Amino acid sequence: MITSAQIRAARALLDWSRQTLSDRSGVGISALMRLESATGIPGGNIKTFEAVQKAFEKAGIAFIGSPDDGPGVRLFIKG
Closest CA to 52 of 21, 13, 31, 78: 21
Q: Which helix (H) or strand (E) holds 66?
A: strand 61-66
CATH architecture of residue range(s) 4-75: Orthogonal Bundle (1.10)
Query: What is the spatial distance between Cα 68 and Cα 6, in angstroms, rounded to a whole number?
Result: 12
pLDDT the model gives residue 79: 57
The pLDDT tens digits of the residues spanning 20-45 come to 999 999 999 999 999 999 887 887 88
CA-angle at 51, arms to 37 and 29, nearest 5°: 45
In 10 A of CB 74, how many CB atoms?
12
What pTM does this model have? Answer: 0.90
pLDDT the model gives residue 59: 96
